[in-house]
Amino acid sequence: MDAGVLNLDTLLLVQVCVTLLTTALLVASACYTESPPEQRWWAGGNVLVCVGLALTGIESLPVLLHGVIGYGVIAFGLALALRGLRVHCSSTLSWQAIAVITVLALLIPGWFTLVAPSLRARLCFSGFYFALLNWLCAVVVARHGVWRVSIVSLTGFILLGLALFLRGVHMLLHVDPMDHTSSLVMGLSTLAIPLAQICIAFGLIQMVMWRYAERLRRLSALDALTGALNRAGLETQGKRVGLRALRAGRSLAVIMIDVDYFKQINDNHGHPVGDEVLRHLARLLKVELRPHDLMARFGGEEFVLVLDGVDHAAALNIAERVRARIEHEVVEWDGMSVRYTASLGVVCSDQHSYDLFRLIAAGDAAMYQAKRAGRNRVAAG
């Protein structure tokens, strides 16, 4: 490839334009009221990187701004972007660490600008140091991200770090760092930088969009009051559990639970107490669940447990344990103490089919049998 094809002035103009556009994109995405905090860190970091690049690129500025402050601003911006990534991954980056990253980017260029002037050394350091910061961002994304979602931003951080590292190597090997008009390495690195910036910007936005989509998916499948699955979530996940048990030849048990005299609890104590009873029951039932079992609020005060690999006898034991625990629990709310009981119906695929809603219908009939028999008991279907 001819070096003339990679005209550095044109590539630098492209890099500046892409930097401004990707920064504008991140800033715009962070301006929504409900935007997550990591987007604001990313946007602020990119703005600072743009300011730092402008300071280091305008040689007519005072040497302190051009050769020292500009590098510190870039490092501060990258540190904020790194903080945003860690916030996205449910962690953080302390302000002390951000200060260390920034001060280091001020001291070493300051030394090679004011104390022992060396443009070559300053450019080598900036290439290696900023490459390292981008690779740290890549490590955070790789360790905590979902690969199919984070691969775009991960590729961008790796590519940008590689381009900056190669630029640092080039400066290290060439005596005159300004004599790079025919350098293929400089041309390729300058071309790679805007491509990497596009990957990073779109990749970061994709990560946030995926997080929102997952949150909406979970909310659409969960009961807002108790955190249990709702009927839609039960239908989706229950079919999967039933099919898995059928293929493995395991038993599938269903336990229906209904709070006794729930209307009286609402009438006597108020709906907030009734809501707390339902939340209390949901927490109690979750204790009985294994990771692959399901719990759903089937409607009103009725809950359902779907137990994979549990036969009829074991399901009866679980139901009786749950019934006894409910009977002895006390719900505390706003100075009031409320006791309640529940009626339970137990069915199993050993006696019925693996069809989930047939099992639920049979379990519902068994549960009403327990109510007719006097409530606060377990009935088998």
Catalytic-role residue among 214, 301, 320, 329? 301
CA distance 56 to 74: 9
CA distance 247 to 309: 12
Provide the total of helices (H) and of strands (E) in the chain, helices listed first: 13, 7
Kindly report the three-state secondary structure assignment for every residue of 14-25.
HHHHHHHHHHHH
CA distance 122 to 47: 23
CA distance 37 to 58: 32
Tokens standing for 347? 């069915």
CA distance 150 to 157: 11
CA distance 79 to 107: 16
Task: Give the start-end residues of each E strand in the chain.
Answer: 252-259, 294-299, 302-308, 331-333, 336-338, 342-348, 378-380
CA distance 29 to 206: 11
Cβ atoms 201, 22 nearer than 8 A: yes
Q: Could you tell me the end-to-end alpha-carbon distance of the chain, in angstroms, rounded to an integer?
A: 78
Is 301 considered catalytic here?
yes
Tell me, what DSSP letter sits at residue 344?
A: E
Contacts of residue 186, defined as CB under 8 A and 6 or more positions apart, other chains included, come to: 8, 167, 170, 180
Tokens standing for 371? 């109510």
CA distance 164 to 278: 57
Active site residues: 301
